[in-house]
Amino acid sequence: MKQLHADPRFNRPAPSIWKRISLLLVIVFLFWAAFQLKYQRSQPKIIHADRYSKEFKYRPAASPIITERLKDGVVRLRGAYPST
């Protein structure tokens, strides 16, 4: 056991204080970035979603539903109206 304490390969000096602080700051930044990305990936707000008109309530829509993602993250739904 005394040989391990005497050998300099096994008695490394502790890292400097600025390296420890920078490591902690990087870890805190990564946690902050992870939470920010988590909140950005939530479901987007839908601004319009009429699938059937009141007149043709029980008839399925003739056109497919087209989803469009706007620049601010809002999803606009188009189509799904009965054809005349």
The per-residue pLDDT for range 28-67, each reduced to its tens digit, is 999 999 988 877 666 656 555 455 555 655 655 555 566 7
> What is the structure's pLDDT at 84?
46
Considering the entire predicted model, what is its pTM? 0.43
Of 46 and 13, more confident? 13
pLDDT surpassing 80 at residue 14: yes
Please provide the size of the chain in residues. 84
> What is the structure's pLDDT at 16?
95
> What is the structure's pLDDT at 70?
77
Q: How far is CA 63 from CA 53, 54, 55, 58, 67, in A?
A: 13, 16, 16, 15, 12
Q: What's the rounded Cα separation, in Å, for the pair 78 and 46?
A: 11
